[in-house]
A and B are shown apart, each in its own frame.
Chain A
Amino acid sequence: MFEHAGRSADTKPKTSSPGLPLESRRSFLGVLLGLGSVFVGGLLSVPLIRFALFPILRRTTELKESPVGALTDFSSLTDPVMRTIQIEQVDGWRKAISEKAVYVTRDTQGQLRVLTSICPHLGCTVPWNKENGKFACPCHGAIFAPDGTRIAGPSLRGMDPLETSVRDGQLLVRFQYFRQLVPDREVIG
């Protein structure tokens, strides 16, 4: 790097001689350098943009599907059964694991259906009343049919069904929270 260190400065110091050709040569070089800088700058900003856009292009918050049990467990299901599921909520670099109670039941067509146990009225856990064959909320007396349809009480809608899927003979459910006190189902984050 210091190859010039020992050399004396009798080497060619050409100050820019005035005149138009040199000026235009200089400005042409300027444009070239400007374009080059824009190009290299653009190239360098590619990783920066990809880095910053990561949460937009990929899922960074995710509610994982939770296993409820083997399908065979529910083949002879008549009454709703309560199952505790573990839900894993991924949020960027952290995750939260919590437990929630859900009911596995059948809809009017006899298909398996999973209901959240959270009352759509004010959020109490709704127990299954075996004697009456109905869901009866202890807090404010909302009553629901075995498939979750609203029968009576202050709730404005029936119990909320959850999105289910089946993989390798396992019943999976995606747990969600729904807005309370409204007649139409509305998922909240």
Chain B
Amino acid sequence: MHSTLKNQGDASSPPQSGLWGWLNRRTGIDDLLRSALDEPIPGGARFAYIFGSGLLFIFISQVITGIFLALYYVPSADHAHTTVAYITKAVTAGSFLRSLHAYGASAMVVVLFLHLSQTFIYGSYKGRRELLWLSGCVLFALVLAMAFTGYLLPWDQRAYFATAVGTNAVSEVPWIGESIKRLMRGGTEMGTLTISRFFVAHVFFVPACIFALVASHIFLFRKAGAAGPVNEDPYQPEQKAELFYPRQVLMDLSLTALLIVGLGVLCFFVPVQLGPPANPADTQYVPRPEWYYLPIFQWLKYWHGSAAIIGVLVIPTLLVAAILALPFLDRSVERRPWKRPAAMGGYAFVVFMLLGLGLRSQYLDRHDPGVGQQLAKQNAEENEYARKPFEPELSSASLAAANVSLADPLAAKGKTIFEGQSCNACHGDGGVGTAAAPALIGIGKKLLPDQLAELFKYPTAKMNAGGMPPIDLPPDDLKALIAYVENLK
């Protein structure tokens, strides 16, 4: 390091030596840390304020575990389930990481609800915090979108049917519902294109939006400042402020520690299961969404036919509009919950409805003997599948080879001749084709046996040039070989 560097340090802080000093002169990390940690909190640190950083922690955990899961996951209807089974049953710590990611989603919804509740009950959306509230609302929707899109990816029975119901519910929206459903599914039915779409939404599109909105949410929060306790003025905080560091940091970290220990214990002792692969032909399967979607699921049951427009469109739109418009409608500086009966009443009503709908759905399942039995059966099937060891997927090439071990004895004899005459050396096993010679699969549709026999005896000039010799075989063997080649599929 050069000696003149000493004088280039930040003017406000004394010059530092060593690696940290050098790093600081290059990056200004001290100032950055200071401005991050010295955020004033009117009225002092409180446990009520810990949920935001808890959410950030879970989000980062979801990003990291998600990236690692992508090391083995393949988003296609053919392979998705096999690769998740591989992660769960074969890969070291795979079951644990997948559980962390799946339970992390639930934890995120819980902490998000607590964060939103704290903001609402404390009236922290007041006082020039409209954009902060709006960005939070959009983040809430994005987190639910992450939960919805991620749920399909394992492509087991539970995932497939829950998403089938979820996307069907969208089609209840009048006029455009059917088109939105098709857009989400990538077609009229669920299939491999659905997985691709959900995967892209889950790992590229929605996370990118979340990153951008988290950044703006934190920026807007710092711009507006911490709102402080309920008796604080939302515009001009008057109470003595305490800095974010150290007490609030420690309180925030206590939630993080609780989340780490809680999720760790849960994932270790009760790992998330993977059920049998999706079988769209299963007409018995009773689909149930993840717990946080149960209230919506139950709600939609009540609205059918001509009334659907009210339940599916009008009421949800009004509710969402009311939530979004909250800081614009509620302009008073009063933040104490007991002085805001309308707002608190509305909050209690919505929470009560969500809770009631969710419990009602559970109650109905438990008290309908048919459904209860079927759900128990589905759980048993899931447990049974989970116990089986991992079975690798048979590659399509082996299936082609298996297909030609034909029932027809003449063609079976032809297969030994095909291999004995080294036809497979150039045309590939099962006639799949190689760089040296074209595939023979499906040739039976183009050439009749007689034409094939003619070509075998007298190859065309082009075939000769490619290295195809005339075939000189006893008539019976030739017949068998033709029977085999004609049957290649």
**Given the known A-B contacts A51-B91, A52-B68, A57-B92, are A26 and B245 also in contact in the complex, defined by CB atoms under 8 Å?**
yes
Q: Is the CB of A16 within 8 A of B429?
A: no
Q: Are B395 and A123 in contact (CB under 8 A)?
A: no
CB atoms of A93 and B231 under 8 A apart? no
Task: Give B365 Cβ to nearest chain A Cβ, in Å.
Answer: 30
Report the Cα distance A7→B185, complex, angstroms: 50
Q: List residues of chain B with CB within 8 A of the CB of A3.
A: 47
Contacts of B420 in A (CB 8 A): 101, 125, 127
B458 at the interface (CB under 8 A from A): no
Whether B82 lies near A138 (C-beta < 8 A) is no
Q: B481 near A: Cβ within 8 Å?
A: no
Find out whether the CB atom of B48 lies under 8 angstroms from the CB atom of A33: no
By the criterion CB–CB under 8 Å, are A97 and B398 in contact? yes
In the complex, what distance in Å separates the CA atom of A1 from the CA atom of B119?
A: 13
A8 within 8 A of B: yes
Chain A: CB-nearest residue to B397: A96
Complexed CA–CA distance, A14 and B69 (Å)? 46
Verify if A94 is at the interface (C-beta below 8 Å from B).
yes
> Is A44 engaged at the interface, CB distance under 8 Å to the other chain?
yes
Q: A50 and B93: CB pair below 8 A?
A: yes
* Interface residue? B150 (CB, 8 A): no
Contact of B398 with A12 in the complex, beta carbons under 8 Å: no
B353 to chain A, nearest CB (A): 20
Partner of A47, one of B86, B96, B429: B96
Name A51's contact: one of B94, B242, B245, B421 (CB within 8 Å). B94
Residues in A with CB closer than 8 Å to B395 are 91, 94-96
A54 and B91 contacting across the interface, CB-CB below 8 Å = yes
Question: Range of interface residues on chain A?
Answer: 35 or more
A95–B398 CB distance below 8 A: yes
Q: How far is the CA of A40 from the CA of B231 in the complex (A)?
A: 37
> In the docked arrangement, what's the CA distance between A13 and B243, Å?
10
Known: A51-B71, A54-B91, A97-B402. Is A5-B260 also a contact (CB below 8 A)? no
Would you call B56 an interface residue if the criterion is a C-beta within 8 Å of the partner chain's C-beta atoms?
no
- A64-93 contacts to B (CB < 8 Å): 90-93
Which residue of the partner chain B has the closest CB to A95?
B392
Closest B residue by C-beta to A98: B401
Q: How far is the CA of A54 from the CA of B82 in the complex (A)?
A: 17
| Closest-CB distance, B13 to chain A (whole angstroms) | 12
* In the complex, per-residue mask of B55-83: 1 if CB is within 8 Å of any chain A CB, else 0: 00000000011001001100000010011
B residues less than 8 Å from A57 (CB atoms): 92
The answer to the question of B228 belonging to the interface, with a C-beta cut-off of 8 Å to chain A, is yes
B253 at the interface (CB under 8 A from A): yes
* Contact B243 A15, beta carbon cutoff 8 Å: yes
Q: Is the CB of B246 within 8 A of A97?
A: no
Using a CB-CB cutoff of 8 Å, which residues 216-259 of chain B contact chain A? 228-232, 239-243, 245-246, 249, 253, 257
Choice from B47, B65, B72, B243 contacting A1 with Cβ under 8 Å: B47
Indicate which residue in B48, B82, B260, B401 contacts A93 across the interface (CB closer than 8 Å). Answer: B82
Q: Is B449 an interface residue (CB 8 A)?
A: no
In whole Å, how far is B343's beta carbon from the nearest beta carbon of chain A? 14
| Known A9-B232, A58-B92, A99-B401: A93·B44 in contact at CB below 8 Å | no
Q: Which A residue's beta carbon lies closest to that of B40?
A: A15
- Whether A167 sits at the interface, judged by CB under 8 Å, is no
Within 8 A of A (CB), among B88-145: 90-94, 96-97, 100, 114, 118, 121-122
Residue of A nearest to B64 (CB): A48
Partner of B246, one of A29, A51, A123: A29
Residues of A within 8 A of B245 (CB): 26, 30
**Chain A residues in 8 Å Cβ range of B243:** 15-16
Give A139's nearest chain B residue, CB to CB: B422
B24 within 8 A of A: no
**Complex Cα gap A11–B65 (Å):** 41
Contacts of B298 in A (CB 8 A): none
B246 surroundings in chain A (CB, below 8 A): 26, 29-30, 33
Q: Which residues of chain B are near A99, meaning CB under 8 Å?
A: 401, 429
A101 / chain B contacts, CB cutoff of 8 Å: 419-420
User: In the complex the two chains form, what is the Cα distance from A64 to B461 in whole Å?
Assistant: 43
Known: A125-B420, A125-B425, A127-B420. 20 other contacts (CB 8 A): A4-B48, A5-B48, A5-B230, A9-B44, A9-B228, A13-B240, A13-B241, A15-B242, A26-B245, A30-B245, A33-B246, A40-B260, A48-B65, A51-B94, A54-B91, A96-B394, A97-B394, A98-B398, A125-B419, A125-B421
* Sample of 19 A–B contacts (CB below 8 Å): A13-B239, A26-B245, A33-B246, A44-B260, A46-B93, A51-B68, A51-B92, A93-B72, A93-B79, A93-B86, A93-B390, A94-B392, A94-B393, A98-B398, A124-B425, A125-B420, A127-B420, A138-B421, A139-B425
B interface residues with partner A (beta carbon < 8 Å):
42-44, 46-48, 64-65, 68, 71-72, 79, 82-83, 85-86, 90-94, 96-97, 100, 114, 118, 121-122, 228-232, 239-243, 245-246, 249, 253, 257, 260, 337-338, 390, 392-395, 397-398, 401-402, 419-422, 424-425, 429
